[in-house]
Structure 1
Amino acid sequence: MQFVTAGESHGPALTAIVSGVPAGLRISESHVNSDLRRRQSGYGRGGRQQIETDHVEVQSGVRFGVTLGTPVCLRVPNRDWQNWTDRMAASGSAPNDLVREVTPRPGHADLVGILKNNSDDCRNVLERASARETAARVAAAGIAREFLAELGVEVFSYVTSIGSAQYEESDAFMRCGKYNLADIELSEVRCPSAEASQKMMKMIDVARIKGESLGGTFRVVATGLVPGLGDFSSGASRLTSKIGAALFGIPAIKGVEFGMGFQAASLEGSHVHDPIALTHDGFTRTSNNAGGLEGGMTTGMPLVVTCAMKPIPTLKNPLETVNIDTMEPALASRERSDVCAVPAAAVVGEAEVAFALAAAYTEKFGSDNMHDIKANLASYVDRIRTQSR
C-alpha cells in the first residue's frame, strides 16, 4: 500500500491517491474525519485552524463504503482558498499587485528551495513545504488504519515533552499500549499526565507572549502486530528503515528513536536486550527495550517509536535574513502560524507509521482482497505457534 499527495497550502484542495488497497475493505469517512479533527486540535495551534474545518471527500476506489481494489482518491478542500484565488491561480497571469515573498525564513525550506528551483518567490516553495500538506497524509492514512484495524492492529500516540516540560514515565516500553486513550484525547496537549499537560500548556503560553515557538517529542505505539513483518536481508528492506524514513518525511522532525533509542548506547548489553520466553501463544519477550523491532523485523511486542520535533520556523518576532531582491539584511517573513504543533505532529506520526505497517502486511500476506489476506494471516499465526511447540 502506497500513497502520493498533491496540493498547496492555499490552493483549492489537498489530494491523496492511495494505491495497493485490497478489495473488500470497509471505509468510514467519519473515522477519517475524526483523525483530521485530531490533527487540527491541540494547545498552541494558530489562526489557520479557525478557518479550516477539514473533511475528506472520497473521489474514487470505494463503492457503498467498500474498497474496489483500485486506487482510492481522497480530497481535503481548503476553505482559505477563497482568500487566495488571485495569488494562487493555476492559470492566467499574476495580478499586478502581487507581493512576492522575498525574505526567506531561517529553519524553513524557503531559501534552499528557491535556489534549487531558480525561483524569485519563496511562495513557490513554502506553499508545498508547509505542514498543511500533512492533512492529506492523515486522510490517506485513514485507509491504512482501517486496514490494520481489520487485522487487529491499533496505532496511537501521545506527547512526551514540549519545550523543557516532560512527561516522566518509568518502564514505558513494558507498559505501552495500556493507556486509556480517552484520557489522552481529553488532554489539550495529548499527554497522559494531567500534571505534565499543565506544565506543557504553561510553556506554550509563555512562548506565545514572547513571540516564540516550541518543539517537543511524541511517541507512536502500535499494538497487535505479528512477529516477522519487515526483512533482515538488506538495509532498505528493514522495517526500521522504512518507518524511520517515513517519520523523517514529516516537516520539522529532527530525530527518531525506537524503544530505548539513544539510551541503549550508554548501557551494558544485559540491560538492553530483551530476554526471550515461551508462552502458550508462542515466543515472547519479557521486556520491550527494542521497541518491538529486532533485525529490522517486528517481534510481536508493541512497536514504540519516539520523534523529536524542532520549533516552528515562523516567528512572531522574526530572525534576521537576507532580502533576495535587494541582497540587504532584512527580517524574515511572517506567515500565520502555530506556537506549538507537537500534538498535531503526533497524529501525523501515527499516519506515517500506519502506512508503513500496512505496506508490510500487504507485502507479507498479499494485497488482492481482505478475505485472502485474513486467511493468509491466520495460517501464518497458526504456523508460528506450532513452531514454538
Structure 2
Amino acid sequence: MRYLTAGESHGPQLTTILEGFPAGMPLLAEDINEGLARRQKGHGRGRRMQIEKDTAEIVSGVRHGQTLGSPIALVVKNNDWKHWTNIMGAEPLNEGQEDEIKRKITRARPGHADLNGAIKYGHRDMRNVLERSSARETTVRVAAGAVAKKLLSLVGVDVVAHVVEIGGVTANVDSSLSIDELKERAELSPVRVADPNVEVEMMDAIDNAKKNGDSIGGVVEVIVTGMPSGIGSYVHYDRKLDAKLAGAIVSINAFKGVEFGIGFEAARKPGSEVHDEIAWNEEKGYYRKTNRLGGFEGGMTTGMPIVVRGVMKPIPTLYKPLMSVDIETKEPFAASVERSDSCAVPAAAVVAEHVIAWELANSLVEQFYSDRFDTFMDEIKRQREYAREF
C-alpha cells in the first residue's frame, strides 16, 4: 500500500490518495471522521481547532460502502481558506500586487523547517515552506490511517494510543487494564492520559506554558493487540517491521525519538532482564512470559502486544519568540509567530496511532493475498492457526 498527501495549511483543501486496499472492504466516511475529530481534541490546542471542523469526503475508490480495489481519494476542505484566497491563491499576481500581499515571512523560526526549506528550494518568502511543513498535513495522514485502522479492526487487530508524559509529568498506568479499558480512559481525558491522578497536573503544566508564552512536549504510547506472529522479516533491513514503525513515528512533525517495549532502559539491564522467555500452551500456542521487547524479535512480530513510544519536542512556534535572522537584511530579529498550540501531545497521540496503523495494515497486505478482502481475511485466519499449531 502507499499514499500521497497534497495541500497547504491555509490552502483550499488537503487531499490524499490511497492505493493497495483490497476490493470488498467495508468503508464509510464516518470510519474516517471519527479519527479526524479525535485529532482536533486535547487541552492546549490553539484557535485553529475552533475554525476547522475536519471531515473527509470520499471522492473515489468506494462504491455503496465497499472499496473497489482502485485508488481511494479523500478530501478535507479548509474552512479558513476564505480568509487566505489572496495570500495563497494559485493564480499569478498582477503587476504591483505583490507588495499588497501581506504575511510574507523572511524571519525563520528556530526549530521549524523554514530556513532549511528556503535554502533547499530557493524560496525568499518562507511561507512557501511553512504552509506545507505545517502539522496541518497530519490531518490527511490520520484520514489515511483511519482507513488502515478499519482494515485492521476487521481482521481482529486493535490499535490504541495514549499519553504517558507531558512536560515532565509522568503517568502511572495500571498494567492490568485491557486495551478497551485503556482506550476508554484515554478518550475521556482532556490530555488523553489513562492515569486520572496526573490529569490535572498535566493540564496545569500546559496552562502555565501558555501563560509564559512557551510550549511543552511529551511522550505518547501506541499499543497494538491481535497482530499475527511472523509479520515483517529478518531477511533484509528494509523489511523489518519495527524499523518501519520507528520511521513512521519520527516522520510525525516534532517527534524526535522512538522506543519499543522497555526501550532505552534495556541499556541499563542485563540480558536476563531484557529478553522474553518463550512458552506454549494449547489455547495460545507460543507466547512470551513477558513483553519487554514490545512485541518484536528479529524485525518480526511475536504475536504479543506491540508497544511503541514516541517523544514529541515542544512546539517551536512560541508567543515569546526566540531570536533569529531576517534572510533579507541579515539583521537579528525575534522570529515570526504563526497561530499555534502550547501543547499538541494529546493530538499527536492520535496521529501516532494512525501512522502505526498504516504500517501494520501495509505489512499484512504485503504478506498475504490482498486483491479481495474475503480471501485476505481467510489467509490471516490460516496464518494464526498455523502459528498456534506449529
> Same fold, TM exceeding 0.5?
yes
CA distance in 2 between partners of 1:143 and 1:311 (Å): 29
Alignment of 1:151-166 (within 5 A): 151-166=155-170
State the match for 2:35 in structure 1. 35
Alignment of 1:1-389 (within 5 A): 1-93=1-93, 95-99=98-102, 100-169=104-173, 172=175, 177=179, 179-280=181-282, 281-387=284-390
Q: In the TM superposition, what whole-angstrom CA distance separates every residue of 1:108-142 from its partner, at most 9, and x where no partner exists? A: 00011001111101100000000000001001111
For residue 179 of structure 2, what is the amino acid of its counterpart? Answer: G
- The structural deviation recorded for 1:176 is 6.6
Structure 1 alignment gaps of length 5 or more: none
- The structural deviation recorded for 1:178 is 5.9
* Superposed CA RMSD: 1.2
Contact 1:87-1:95 within 8 A present in 2 as well? no
Q: TM-score, normalised by structure 2?
A: 0.97
* SS state at 1:179 partner: helix
CA distance in 2 between partners of 1:322 and 1:53 (Å): 36
Contact 1:256-1:308 within 8 A present in 2 as well? yes
Contact 1:177-1:302 within 8 A present in 2 as well? no
Q: TM-score, normalised by structure 1?
A: 0.97
Q: In the TM superposition, what whole-angstrom CA distance separates every residue of 1:14-65 from its partner, at most 9, and x where no partner exists? A: 0011000100111121121111011000000001001000000001000011
Runs of 4+ residues deviating >3 angstroms: none
CA distance in 2 between partners of 1:302 and 1:386 (Å): 20
Contact 2:220-2:311 within 8 A present in 1 as well? yes
Identity of aligned residues (%): 46
* SS state at 1:157 partner: strand
Contact 1:23-1:68 within 8 A present in 2 as well? yes
Contact 2:173-2:194 within 8 A present in 1 as well? no
Contact 1:26-1:66 within 8 A present in 2 as well? yes
* SS state at 1:255 partner: strand
For residue 256 of structure 2, what is the amino acid of its counterpart? Answer: K
- The structural deviation recorded for 1:9 is 0.2
Residues paired across the two proteins, number: 385
CA distance in 1 between partners of 2:55 and 2:67 (Å): 19
* SS state at 2:388 partner: helix
* SS state at 1:378 partner: helix
Contact 1:259-1:305 within 8 A present in 2 as well? yes
Of 177-186 and 101-110, deviating more is 177-186
* SS state at 1:243 partner: helix
- The structural deviation recorded for 1:177 is 2.8
- The structural deviation recorded for 1:367 is 1.8
* SS state at 1:96 partner: helix
Contact 1:2-1:355 within 8 A present in 2 as well? no
- The structural deviation recorded for 1:368 is 0.2
CA distance in 1 between partners of 2:256 and 2:8 (Å): 23
Q: In the TM superposition, what whole-angstrom CA distance separates every residue of 1:238-296 from its partner, at most 9, and x where no partner exists? A: 00111111111101000000011000110011111011000113100011001001110
